[in-house]
Amino acid sequence: MTRQNSTAELDKAAHLHPYTNARKLEAVGPRVMAEGDGIFVRDEQGNEYIEGLAGLWSVAVGFNQKRLVDAAAEQMAKLPYYHVFAQKTHGPAARLADKLVELTPEHLTKVFFTNSGSEANDTVIKLIWFLNNALGRPEKKKFIARTGGYHGITVASGSLTGLPWNHASFDLPAIPVRHVTTPHAYFFAEEGESEEAFAQRLADEIEATILEEGPETVAAFIGEPLIGAGGVLVPPAGYWQKVQAVCHKYDVLLIADEVITGFGRTGKMFASDTFGITPDIMVLSKQITSSYQPLAAIMMTDAIYQAIADHSERLGTLGHGFTGTGHPVATAVGLENIAIIEEQDLVGNAAAMGKVLQSELARFADHPLVGEIRGVGLIAAVQLVADKSSRTRFDPEGKVGAFFFERAHDHGLIIRNIKDAIAFCPPLIITEEQVCEMVARFGKTLEDTLAFAE
Q: Residue with the closest Cβ to ligand PLP? A: 117
DSSP states of 414-443: E-EEETTEEEE---TT--HHHHHHHHHHHH
Is residue 151 part of the contact set for ligand PLP (CB under 6 A)? Answer: yes
Shortest Cβ 405–ligand PLP spacing (Å): 17
- Of 7-15, 44-52, 113-121, 382-390, the segment contacting ligand PLP by CB under 6 A is 113-121
Spatial distance between the Cα atoms of 404 and 54, rounded to a whole number of angstroms? 18
146 binds ligand PLP, rule: CB under 6 A: no
For residue 119, the surrounding DSSP H or E stretch is helix 117-134
d(CA 430, CA 59): 11
**Residue span 37-56 as binding mask against ligand PLP, x where in contact by CB under 6 A, dash where not:** -------------------x
Spatial CA neighbour of 347 closest among 416, 263, 237: 263
Q: How far is the CB of 362 from ligand PLP (least distance, A)?
A: 25
**Does 265 interact with ligand PLP (rule: CB under 6 A)?**
no
- The CB density around residue 381, as the number of other CB atoms within 10 Å, is 25
Amino acid at 287: Q
| Binding-site size, ligand PLP (CB under 6 A) | 15
Per-residue contact flags (x/-) with ligand PLP for residues 214 to 233, judged by CB under 6 A: ----------x---xx----
**Nearest CB to ligand PLP, comparing residues 90 and 416:** 416
- Sign of the torsion angle spanned by Cα atoms 147, 151, 153, 159: negative
Give the x-and-dash track for 386-415 against ligand PLP (CB under 6 A): ------------------------------
Residue 159 touching ligand PLP (CB under 6 A): no
Q: 3-class DSSP state for residue 75? A: helix
CA angle (225 as vertex; 219, 229 as ends), nearest 5: 100
**Interface residue with ligand PLP, options 104, 166, 285, 349 (CB under 6 A):** 285
| CB of 324 vs ligand PLP, minimal distance in Å | 13
> Which of 223, 236 has the CB closer to ligand PLP?
223
The distance of closest approach from Cβ of residue 155 to ligand PLP in the complex, given in angstroms and rounded to an integer, is 13
Edge-to-edge order in the sheet of strand 281-284: 108-114, 296-301, 281-284, 253-257, 218-223, 142-146, 177-180
For ligand PLP, the closer of residues 229 and 400 by Cβ is: 229
CA 235, chain centre distance (Å): 15
Q: Please give the Cα distance from 417 to 406 (Å, whole number).
A: 10
Query: Taking CB under 6 A as the rule, does residue 117 contact ligand PLP?
Result: yes
Asked if 260 interacts with ligand PLP (CB under 6 A), we say yes
Residues that bind ligand PLP (CB under 6 A): 56, 116-118, 121, 150-152, 224, 228-229, 257, 259-260, 285
